[in-house]
Chains A and B, each alone.
Chain A
Amino acid sequence: MRLPPTQRLILSLLSSRGPSYGLQLVAASHGQLKRGGIYVTLGGMTQKGLVSSEVGDDGRRLYRLTGLGYRALAAMELVGAELERGYSA
């Protein structure tokens, strides 16, 4: 499964921060994620099964990583580490 950079960033943020609202992810991304656009991306990730969400009392959605999301993130980190090792060798 190929993931665009924005989706990889969201996976990393959700992994490090735990369950988060969209606005919290936008704030934590330091400008890399945009309001409005992030929910379109999160919607695509939900369809892929990488994240799940639940609606709170105030109508806001709380997003969290799924098992598949954790595995995808781990695979990306493993590939990144292997590439870095190969590059430095």
Chain B
Amino acid sequence: MRPFIAFALEAFPPSGVRREALDATLADWRYEAAAASTGLGRLAVALRSTAAVSRAVLALAARDLATEWRRPWLRRLAVALALTFAAFGTLGPVDAALRIIPLFPLIVFVAEVTGHRERPAVGLGGALVLAVVSAWLVGVAVPELYEYRTVLDWRQHGRAWSLGELYASWDWERVMRVLLVAMHVVSGAALAGALRAGPQRGRRVLVGLLLIVAPLSTAFFLVFVSIPIPAQMFYSLMAPWRVLAIIPPWLVPVLTLCLAAHLRRIDQR
């Protein structure tokens, strides 16, 4: 458990004193685990130390959150989110929105990377908020979105489906548009934050990775959603690809965090 938690903590944005607090807590864990002579003792140490790490992370996050809202990137994100909600909540058909939205990670990413270098990276509190929002969106929004897209296609092909009644309301469509936008904007912000916190060499690698993955995600929406083929064949052949088309914007921040942690570990060696 300790190596996994240590690896996850390495992905958090580093900052002198905060990094020291986490490292010291993990060092205590290592010390006590080495001193424990029995399996039961090691289990007790693991439970105690996991609670200690959680307490340290929460304490650091609470301290960060008090000042996090003043950071420029958060204000820009809030304004972008509000404008996007206003635009997609009131204008245009759903399909048009779906084809534009995958570009958001790229837009947010470029905006962040081209910003001032001396601007502080996202803090621990901000990163935790993004992680919680991301986890919620992945757990709740992605399955709903996939089902929503399926129902939309059934409706477009003139098939009757009982669930269609549920999703046909105008209010629900608006909610789904907002969720789609939120998914991509938050994932883009998480990615940008992770990139800015990572080492310089890692950034170059990740820039290349994103520039490959983001257009791919967009291409899936632009091409495959537009192909007019019989519904049965479409679902049997295209459904897995369409799931991929929704997931990549979420995989990128996760992969980025893991890769940033890995690169940081290499740099430390």
Chain A residues near B (Cβ < 8 Å): 21-23, 34-37, 39-40, 42-44, 46-47, 53, 58-61
Contacts and interface: CB of A to CB of B under 8 A. Distances in A.
Given A35-B28, A58-B31, A47 B17 contact: yes
Contact of B53 (A23, A36, A42, A46): A36
Interface stretch (B54-62, B154-162, B183-191, B261-269): B54-62
A43 B56 CA distance: 11
B147 interface: no
B86 interface: no
B173 interface: no
A51 B79 CA distance: 42
Contact of A36 (B20, B32, B56): B56
Contacts of B49: 35
B51 A39 contact: no
Contacts of B26: 59
B24 A22 contact: yes
Contact of A58 (B21, B30, B59, B60): B30
B52 interface: yes
A15 B30 CA distance: 27
Interface of B: 17-18, 20-28, 30-32, 48-49, 51-56, 59-60, 63
Contacts of B28: 21-23, 35, 60
Nearest to B48: A35
Contact of B55 (A23, A34, A59, A61): A34
B31 A43 contact: no
B30 A43 contact: no
A25 to B, nearest CB: 11
A1 to B, nearest CB: 18
Contacts of A60: 24, 27-28, 31
Contacts of B51: 35-36
Contacts of B18: 43
Given A23-B31, A39-B56, A61-B27, 12 more contacts: A22-B24, A23-B32, A34-B52, A35-B25, A36-B52, A37-B52, A39-B20, A40-B56, A40-B60, A40-B63, A58-B30, A60-B28
Contacts of A58: 27, 30-31
Nearest to A61: B24
B21 A43 contact: yes
| Most B-side CB within 10 Å, residue of A22, A36, A39, A46 | A36
A43 B23 CA distance: 12
Nearest to A56: B27
B30 A59 contact: yes
Given A40-B63, A58-B31, A35 B24 contact: no
A40 to B, nearest CB: 4
A71 to B, nearest CB: 22
Contacts of A37: 52, 55-56, 59
Contact of A39 (B21, B31, B48, B63): B21
B56 A59 contact: no
A15 B32 CA distance: 25
A86 to B, nearest CB: 36
